Amino acid sequence: MQDALVNLTIEVDLKEGEAFSLPDEAIKYIKPGKWWISIQPAPPPNNGKPIRGHSAFLNSYSNEDEGLYDDYPTR
């Protein structure tokens, strides 16, 4: 069995006026052969907001559900 690199993801933060170049960490993995290089913008930071939202649960409540749990004792 031969090991092979399948996917390598590196985040690059370019400042105004900087030219793009591959980081040394990436260059050491590039060997002779055929390569696909894909560039896409990084997602915005989440700024402390929760990753998951619970709005689907809250929005699923309807008027027909009113009184549904009235028979249950309170704690």
Q: Please report whether residue 21 resides in a domain.
A: yes
Report how far residue 59's alpha carbon sits from residue 56's, in angstroms, rounded to the nearest whole number: 5
Q: Read off the pLDDT band of 16 (50, 70, 90).
A: very high
Report how far residue 6's alpha carbon sits from residue 29's, in angstroms, rounded to the nearest whole number: 11
Domain count, the chain: 1
Mean pLDDT for the chain?
79
Q: Please report whether residue 30 resides in a domain.
A: yes
pLDDT in tens, 37-66: 888 888 777 766 766 777 777 777 778 888
b/e per residue 31-56 (b: at least 16 CB within 10 A) = eeeeeeeeeeeeeeeeeeeeeeeeee
The dihedral formed by the CA atoms of 20, 30, 27 and 23, expressed in degrees to the nearest 10: 40
Please state, for a pLDDT cut of 90, what percent of the chain lies above it.
Answer: 5
Question: Is the pLDDT reported for residue 17 higher than 90?
Answer: yes
How confident is the model at residue 48, as a pLDDT?
A: 66
Q: Please report whether residue 52 resides in a domain.
A: no
pTM flag (> 0.75): no
